[in-house]
């Protein structure tokens, strides 16, 4: 498993439904990139300029929201993960569902 450094968070992106609410099967081109994910690993945090460790606000198992094209995608053991900094504006990791 990936071990993130500092204030980075590893996310497992949740799969979107392949059908519309009316039961129509959607093609992959018409589906948007999912915007919710499960936190699977969290770094220890980042030290500020005073030397205080600031821990990420999320923990493993939390569900978070992120922007469509945020972070870095990594494939490991056939599974795709997204790596973001907890402090990135594109990672609303402070918003737990």
Query: Can you tell me whether residue 29 is helix, strand or coil?
Result: helix
pLDDT at 34: 58
R_g over Cα of the chain: 15
Mean pLDDT, the chain, whole residue set: 79
- Predicted confidence (pLDDT) at residue 20 exceeds the cutoff of 60: no
What is the value of pTM for the model shown?
A: 0.73
Mean pLDDT of 43-60: 91
Tokens of 58: 């999320």
Residue 31 gets which letter from DSSP?
S
Confidence label for 36 from pLDDT (cuts 50, 70 and 90)? confident
CA–CA separation, 23 and 5 (whole Å): 42
């Amino acid at each position: 498993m990936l071990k993130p450094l500092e204030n980075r968070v590893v996310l497992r992106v949740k799969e979107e439904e392949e059908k519309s609410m009316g039961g129509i099967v959607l093609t992959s081109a018409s589906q948007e990139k999912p915007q919710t994910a499960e936190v699977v690993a969290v770094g220890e945090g980042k030290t500020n300029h005073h030397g205080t460790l600031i821990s990420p606000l999320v923990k493993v198992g939390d569900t978070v929201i992120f922007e469509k094209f945020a972070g870095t995608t990594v494939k490991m053991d056939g599974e795709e993960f997204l790596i973001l900094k907890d402090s990135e504006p594109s990672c609303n990791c402070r918003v737990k569902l």
